[in-house]
Structure 1
Amino acid sequence: MSLSLLVLVFLGGLAAGLPVAVTLGLASVTYLLSAGIPLVVIPQKMYAGMDVFVLLCIPGFILAGNLMNSGGITERIIRFANALVGWMRGGLGLSNVAGSMLFGGISGTAVADAASIGGVMIPGMKKAGYPADFSAAITAASSTVGPIIPPSVPMIIVGALSGISVGKMFMAGAIPGILMGLAMMVTCYIISVRRNFPRQPWQGFQELFRSFTGAFWALAMTGLIVGGLLSGLATPTETAIIASVYAFVVGAFIYRELPLKAVPRIVIDSAISSAAILALVGFANVFGWILVAERIPQMLVDAVLSVTDNKILVILLINLLLLFVGMFMETIAALIILFVPLLALAQGVGIDPLHFAIIAVLNLMIGLTTPPVGVCLFICANIAKLPLTPVIRALVPFLLTNVMVLFLVSYIPGLATWLPSILFD
């Protein structure tokens, strides 16, 4: 009875459009009251879920991304990407993807990418003659590369949940992220040729060099993050703080586009964003504890293994489940609730934990562009001032491309595990 109420309240909250954190909290309270369990469990489990050292990376990377974005990074990255590939057919679309790949190495969140790149590129593409639905679709699709290429907030969450090295996960996401970006660029080019989208004139090597030097300090931030992790001189948490200091210095004193009076507002906005994520982590930990108490994870593992223990089929089933869940649930909540039980299932058939972590994050990133809870989809459609239907229709080729890369990474473990094995082991 208590478990049925938990599920009903949870699904009802999602259907009503309540925030996921609120939905998880209401469902958990309903379960505890119906089961006669003291509500003191809620603050205890919330604190236990948030009291994880590696989660301090989240406010650090969010602050670093916000400082760099307010300090002129978006325009410089787009200018460099445009000089690099903008001369090809559909060049602004290619620049859009390239810009997201470069920006993803700084922000670590898809939503920040969609809002920042989309706010500049979608109006620019429309003005240049690209269809509005295509402009919004490619921006939404490419924004999901951000949390795959290091740094990545979802990977930090996975590390806190499972004990998998965050540094190794950052490196494991590099090749899949680059593959996803290149695949979307190929898709964009094919569509652009077929539909005769505009192209820009080649701006010359002088502009390429000038735009690169302009974006150098922004791009170097990725090198700082990766270098700190690989050298062993800094933990992921320390790297996030170093990145924040670096972002402030570059924005305020090198680019000189970050006014000092704007810093308090940026810090407050970053704190609010971080608090929202950590509140979600806390409530999801309570919800996850209830599921464990009801032995739901073990039942899931037993149910799947009773059907098949074939590794190929289990990977397929996990992918289908996570793609479906990503359509209805926010990424971090889905990871906290499902990652640990699915990890047990994956390890039961011999899947490497690091490989599975990348599979899970890839799946849920794709979910950010699928209705009805695709946050990046909503942001880009809103910027383009379009209803969702035409944007979803234009998004289909990019979704198919991303799913193809997902299955490629799923069935070729070396795409995820080779780089960290070389760099760390």
Structure 2
Amino acid sequence: MDLATTAALIMLIGTVFFLIIGTPISISVGISSFAAMLVILPYQGATVTSAQRIFVGLDSFALLAIPFFILAGNIMNSGGIALKLINFSKIISGFFPGSLAQTNIVSNMLFGAISGSGVASAAAVGGIMSPIAQKEGYDPKFSAAVNIASAPTGMLIPPSNTLIVYATVAGSVSVSALFMAGYLPGILWGTSVMIIAGWFAKKRGYITKHHMTFSECIKVSFSAIPSLSLIVVVIGGILAGIFTATEASAIAVMYSLLLSFCYRTLTLKQLPDILLQTAKMSAIVIFMLAASSIMSWVMAFTQIPGMIANMLLALTDNPILILFIINIILLIVGTFMDPTPAVLIFTPIFLPICINLGMSPIQFGIMLVFNLSLGTITPPVGPILFTGCKVSNISIDQVIKALLPFFAAIFFVLLLVTYIPSISLFLPDVMGLIK
């Protein structure tokens, strides 16, 4: 066995071992990658190279967008913006079967499009909608399933921190192009959940007990315009070339802060806690990026992506089957690994394979994030699954059965995204973002 193969085995086995014993992912990756590097290089060379890779991995202006978007999401989660969006969602979804469930879905899509966080959407929107749905006679398991199934749409509909991480790892992939590419898949995800929710609502007789009058609709719309304008300001500014995605993240913080103060739902006393939570969340993501930079170097040196590509090609040379196998692997990975480290680890492995199959790096990024977003609502890890169950006061085993039809619909959309490139590439191409 040569040194490269030995190093690859040490890194892979070490990472799995540390994860099994409960070591945080970033530390597991860092220690295992450094141990693998010691096989390839002398101790001093491995130490210097590891330090260099950490700094090179974090030397990206685009990464500044991550803490800013996290801060903007935390401000919005505490600033009462979710309630404004829920009221506005009633106008859009009020006439569909199971209007409360549909309102929950639309609200998650809107809040996710503003905050970029599926967990924040599940907590903020679900926390408000759950008691209302119970009073209206909705089955708590059904309501929780609807909230959980629709919350990850914010990880695809921009701004999305996961897409920013992917753009950093993938190299020459435009964040703006990825943002636009996420719209249609995210909307299709939400639409599929709405169809399933509407079918069950009609079957169970969940009817709307109160329709908003025209004057109420006008009042609610005007009240929600400032919140909805954040989407126009951030995405419109990026597309118009007024500012970059990183600069847009800082503008999102200032806008959400001023808006929350104007709504009088946020006080100065709350800011220290919000800043502390943002710092903790940002540190986790940044440290993962630093550790994964060492792993990326080891994988490139040991040619792990090439070995995996050869293994897949040994099974079949059919592009349709290869993409299906990659999807299954990513779905399994997503069930026990958070999206950010999964993007860092598996992008260097699968991106070259998909490019060789003729897939655009933009489409692959959306397919990757779509898979990993689905993992956030599946056990055993599933952060959105746990959050949705917590705010609905319901156990995971109770909600899993109710989630199965939604899983099937979302998986069907995933296949569409995988095999129909235009779903991801149409908007970036129209906007002139694909060169």
Shorter-chain TM-score: which interval? Answer: over 0.9
Aligned pairs, number? 424
Aligned to 2:167: 159
Contact 2:8–2:304 at 8 Å: present in 1 too?
Answer: no
The CA distance in 2 between the partners of 1:20 and 1:135, in whole Å, is 32
SS of the aligned residue for 1:323 comes to: helix
CA distance in 1, matches of 2:136, 2:27: 42
**TM-score (norm: length of structure 1):** 0.94
Question: Does structure 2 retain, via aligned residues, the 8 Å contact 1:84–1:208?
Answer: no
Query: Is 1:10 the counterpart of 2:5 in the alignment?
Result: no
Deviations 1:303-356 (A, max 9, x none): 223443333222212211211111121111111111122111011111111111
Tell me which of 241, 264, 282 is aligned to 1:232. Answer: 241
Q: Are 2:66 and 1:63 equivalent residues in the alignment? A: no
What is the CA–CA distance in structure 2 between the aligned matches of 1:191 and 1:408, rounded to whole Å? 23
1:27 aligns with 2:32: yes
Alignment of 1:6-405 (within 5 A): 6-32=11-37, 37=43, 38-162=46-170, 163-252=172-261, 254-405=262-413
Q: Give yes or no for contact 2:97–2:199 (8 Å, CA) kept in 1.
A: no
Give CA deviations for 1:225-271 in whole Å, capped at 9, x if unaligned: 1111110111110111111111112111x322221332233222212
Deviation at 1:45, TM superposition (A): 2.1
Larger displacement relative to structure 2 (279-288 or 241-250): 279-288
Contact 1:72 1:251 survives alignment (8 Å): yes
TM-score scaled by length of structure 2:
0.92
Is the 8 Å Cα contact of residues 66 and 282 (structure 2) preserved in structure 1? Answer: yes
SS of the residue corresponding to residue 376 of structure 2 reads helix
AA aligned to 1:382 is K
Q: For residue 369 of structure 1, give the secondary structure of its aligned residue in structure 2.
A: coil
Amino acid at match of 1:20: I
- Residue 118 of structure 1 deviates from its aligned partner by 2.0
Tell me, in whole angstroms, the C-alpha distance in 2 between the residues paired with 1:152 and 1:168.
12
Structure 2 CA distance for partners of 1:200 and 1:283, relative to 1, 3 Å = farther
Task: Give, in whole Å, the separation in 1 of the partners of 2:394 and 2:260.
Answer: 33
Sort the Cα spacing of 1:219 and 1:292 in 2 relative to 1 into closer, same or farther, 3 A: same
Partner Cα distance (2:141, 2:404) in 1: 11
Amino acid at match of 1:212: S
* Whole-angstrom distance in 1 between the partners of 2:7 and 2:362: 35
Look up the equivalent residue of 1:205 and give its one-letter code: F
Counterpart-to-counterpart distance in 1, 2:22 and 2:126: 25
Change in 2 beyond 3 A, CA 1:85/1:343: same
Call closer, same or farther: CA 1:90–1:255 in 2, change over 3 Å. Answer: same
Structure 1 residues 95 and 407, CA gap change in structure 2 (3 angstroms) = same
| Percent sequence identity over aligned pairs | 36
Partner SS, residue 169 of structure 1: helix
Residues 152-202 of structure 1 show CA distances to partners (whole Å, capped at 9, x for unaligned) of 111101111122000011001111111111111011000111222353321
Give, in whole Å, the separation in 1 of the partners of 2:406 and 2:347.
26
User: In the TM superposition, what whole-angstrom CA distance separates every residue of 1:15-47 from its partner, at most 9, and x where no partner exists?
Assistant: 344432233234334434566644444433222
Further displaced range: 10-19 or 358-367: 10-19
For 1:266 and 1:229, how far apart are their aligned partners in 2?
26
- What code does the residue aligned with 1:308 have? T
Q: Distance in 2 between matches of 1:183 and 1:266?
A: 34
Q: Which runs of 5+ in 2 are unaligned?
A: 1-5
Contact 1:119 1:383 in 2 (8 A): yes
108-117 or 237-246, larger mean C-alpha shift: 108-117
Determine helix, strand or coil for the equivalent of 1:341. Answer: helix
Instruction: Output the CA distance in 1 between the equivalents of 2:339 and 2:34.
Output: 22
